[in-house]
Structure 1
């Protein structure tokens, strides 16, 4: 490869080996891939839960009373025999790998409290016990439990691999250890694999949801007395993926590209050590 040579005003001959640019490009792409994948895992907009208003009106069919609040964002469900006390609230939600959040501001929750909205945490962390037993939230189905726990496990392994790869990669570059650089490339490929498992689980976990089951998942429902009475309304829920999932797919692709660059870097270092590149 040709060398880039310049001569400064003092007469010193300054040269940069072209492989240095490859090293810098690898480090930049590594930073982008790590940041994007970590951001995707840590954010809580992997999926969103909304309600189809027209379907709700049809499913209600006079059996329950629907009262729309907050510019038709939240539906208050009640029955005639409950003296207009709320049976449940149908609210928009968004969730991540280990969090579930109500898509309402604190002010909106405070306003809803005047009409019987229960006092709940805006976000619940699955790692701190999940939503089971938390007032206002209904337990998830067994299938949802397994899928959620599996996605959390894969995400945690992915984060551990990314952190370890960063340390090993830095050691390999600064200590000129070719084997460490090669291992870094393999670890980024492993991180992409576990991230792919997480993305796939999140994408397909809703396929086995049975909205008519009384013990099924009831994301999108907040109730002070339990949500079994609104099971006939659950088909009106709409599950959509959100920007965190897209960010995760981008992170997986960058991690694969990063893995290839680290493996190529180990081949380059075999014939051109980093010290000779810089001091050429």
Structure 2
């Protein structure tokens, strides 16, 4: 004798919900959302073709010193930048530098910390004297995306607890609320990912960055989407499917309970 359709439906709803939660928790807990690097060949071309820019590789970690000279009528102004690969997740921006290399970057002047990672929620200060206009826009989008994912994680925890209560107590209202919570998780997941993709657009095509970045090296900058972004999108899809399944479970329980009362 096979399992009843209701049992199969409840198991599927639970599996979809657990799988969605697992995917989103994994994607939110890693720093593999974006990777920022610089093309060595393009940097060499910029160095050879632009007499006002001097680019020197000062280590084996693609760590470059960029000296940019701007001529004026009265004098020449020289400014030094350090460019290097970084990577980010939903919560923070980190680099690959050694401690010695990190001390050279003068991160306090750029608004970043002297630590390996810059935590957006904790370390960012909405102060135009510290951050450029572009960096402030990037940080605001990042913090908005992180806020959406906090809501997503809270919804998933609440959905798991309320869903178990609904199944064990055969509560129709609890199952309906579980469906709503998964729907909200999917919705806020889309909001968060949309903000992150908007940020990625500005970083990739407008050369926005949290650190000070000379415009002369923008053609060499590469912004890459990492594996956690597709994983987060799959998690959003499974949240939407789990929402539908939980609403179907609630409807089925309502029909069964109505029949038993007759």
TM-score range, shorter chain: 0.7 to 0.9
Over the aligned positions, Cα root-mean-square deviation in angstroms equals 3.1
Contact 1:158 1:191 in 2 (8 A): yes
**Aligned counterpart, 1:185:** 179
Question: Which has the larger helix fraction?
Answer: 2
Partner residue of 2:116 out of 109, 113, 122: 122
What are the equivalent positions in structure 2 for 1:218-233 lying under 5 Å apart? Answer: 218-219=209-210, 221=211, 227=212, 230-233=214-217
Partner residue of 1:89 out of 82, 86, 94: 82
Contact 1:124 1:131 in 2 (8 A): no
**Aligned counterpart, 1:66:** 55
1:265 matched to 2:249? The reply is yes
1:44 matched to 2:31? The reply is yes
CA distance in structure 2 between the aligned counterparts of 1:93 and 1:267, rounded to whole angstroms = 49
User: What's the CA shift for 1:46?
Assistant: 1.4
Contact 2:92 2:117 in 1 (8 A): yes
Relative to 1, partners in 2 of residues 1:48 and 1:190: Cα closer, same or farther, differing over 3 Å? same
CA distance in structure 1 between the aligned counterparts of 2:227 and 2:132, rounded to whole angstroms = 26
Which structure is larger by alpha-carbon Rg, 1 or 2? 1
CA distance in structure 2 between the aligned counterparts of 1:36 and 1:211, rounded to whole angstroms = 29
CA distance in structure 2 between the aligned counterparts of 1:72 and 1:109, rounded to whole angstroms = 9
1:144 matched to 2:126? The reply is no
TM-score (norm 1): 0.73
User: What's the CA shift for 1:267?
Assistant: 1.9
Gaps of 5+ in 1: 5-15, 81-85, 222-226
Relative to 1, partners in 2 of residues 1:251 and 1:17: Cα closer, same or farther, differing over 3 Å? same
Relative to 1, partners in 2 of residues 1:192 and 1:31: Cα closer, same or farther, differing over 3 Å? same
TM-score (norm 2): 0.78
Relative to 1, partners in 2 of residues 1:30 and 1:204: Cα closer, same or farther, differing over 3 Å? same
User: What's the CA shift for 1:57?
Assistant: 2.2
CA distance in structure 2 between the aligned counterparts of 1:193 and 1:79, rounded to whole angstroms = 45
CA distance in structure 2 between the aligned counterparts of 1:138 and 1:48, rounded to whole angstroms = 21
Relative to 1, partners in 2 of residues 1:217 and 1:138: Cα closer, same or farther, differing over 3 Å? farther
User: What's the CA shift for 1:29?
Assistant: 1.7
**Aligned counterpart, 2:66:** 77
Contact 1:211 1:235 in 2 (8 A): no
User: What's the CA shift for 1:183?
Assistant: 1.4
